């Protein structure tokens, strides 16, 4: 089962939780110029990631609101690994 890295960043004006991807790293400085990485998790799907985030922040049970959960694929993992090989974030 493929797992992707997700990161929780926090700044003065809020927080962001997302899958590590080039586009997310590219827009973060504009959206959160003072952001700092607080924690990272590995998860097999978005819902799994959200529950792990909720666990870490003490928020209880994540409610997906009836949305389907889709497991990450091996292709997703390969794409992320390729990006991570050259990743450079502040």
CA 48 – CA 50 distance, rounded (Å): 5
Report the pLDDT value the prediction gives residue 90, as an integer from 0 to 100.
Answer: 62
Q: Is the pLDDT of residue 88 over 90?
A: no
Percentage of the chain exceeding pLDDT 70: 99
The predicted-structure confidence for 10-46, as pLDDT tens digits, reads as follows 999 999 999 999 999 999 999 999 999 999 999 999 9
**Average pLDDT value for residue range 48-55:** 98
Q: Where are the domains of the chain?
A: 4-86
To the nearest whole number, what is the mean pLDDT of the chain?
95
∠ CA 35-58-46, rounded to 5°: 70
């Amino acid at each position: 089962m493929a797992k992707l890295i997700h990161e929780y960043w926090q700044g003065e004006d809020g927080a962001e939780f997302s899958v590590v991807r080039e586009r997310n790293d590219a827009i973060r400085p504009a959206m959160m110029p003072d952001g700092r990485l607080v924690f990272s998790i590995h998860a097999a799907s978005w819902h799994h990631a959200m529950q792990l985030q909720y666990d870490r922040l003490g928020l209880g049970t994540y409610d997906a609101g009836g949305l389907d959960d889709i497991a990450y694929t091996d292709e997703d993992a390969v794409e992320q690994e390729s990006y991570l090989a050259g990743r450079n974030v502040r």
